[in-house]
Amino acid sequence: MASTNKLLMQIEDTRKRMTAIAIEKGLTNPESLKLSEELDYLLNKFEQLKGK
């Protein structure tokens, strides 16, 4: 359970950073895209944990 909570916090932090960068630099900025990929990875990891 603790790892799930930590993962949820990472997801929320990444989402906030991605949104801020996308607003500031644009959706196609490499940093925005990198954070989007990181968020996808974290969300997939969360779904895997939830399925167990």
42 and 48 in contact (C-beta within 8 Å)? no
- Residue 50: its pLDDT value, please? 87
Q: Tell me what pLDDT residue 44 has.
A: 96
**Residue 17 dihedral angles phi and psi, to the nearest 5°:** -65, -45
Report the C-alpha gap between 17 and 32 in whole angstroms. 9
Per-residue pLDDT of the chain (52 residues; tens, 9 = 90+): 668 999 999 999 999 999 999 999 999 999 999 999 999 999 999 999 988 6
Q: How many domains is the chain partitioned into structurally?
A: 1
Return the pLDDT at 47. 94
Whole-angstrom distance, CA of residue 25 vs CA of residue 3: 32
Residue 37 lies in domain: 2-51
> For residue 51, what pLDDT is reported?
84
- The residue type of 18 is M
pLDDT of residue 1: 62
* pTM, 2 dp: 0.89
